[in-house]
Amino acid sequence: MATTEFSVVPIGTRVKVVRGPFPTDAGLVGRLGTVVESSQYYPNKVSISLDGDPEIRTFAPVELELVEGPEALPPDVEAARKRLVRP
C-alpha cells in the first residue's frame, strides 16, 4: 500500500496558540511558535517549538491558528506544472 506525505499543518509553518476544546495552560494562549513535527499517522498531534521556550510542546490542530506558512510551490515548479508533458 502506498502512502503519500500529507499533514494538516506542514512543518515550518508559523502558528499562534489559541484556546481549543482541550485543557491548555492559560499562559500558552496567544504565544507564537513553529511547527517542528507533524505526521499523517497522528493527524490530531502537532509538535510546536514556541518562541523563547526550549521545550517542544504538543497541540491539536484546532488549538493552532496559522500565522504564516511555507509557499505551496516555488514559482518555477508552478510554471513547470502548466507545461505539457511529452515523450
pLDDT tens, 30-84? 999 999 998 888 888 999 999 999 999 999 988 999 888 766 555 666 676 677 6
Contacts of 61 (CB under 8 A, 6+ apart): 8, 9, 43, 44, 46
State the pLDDT at residue 4: 47
| Residue 4 placed within a domain | no
Q: What is the span of the domain harbouring residue 25?
A: 14-82
State the pLDDT at residue 70: 67
DSSP alpha helix (H) spans, the chain: 75-82
Number of domains in the chain: 1
CATH code for position 29? 2.30.30
| Residue 60 placed within a domain | yes
How many other CB atoms sit within 10 Å of the CB of residue 33?
A: 24
State the pLDDT at residue 44: 86
Check whether 5 has a pLDDT greater than 50.
Answer: no
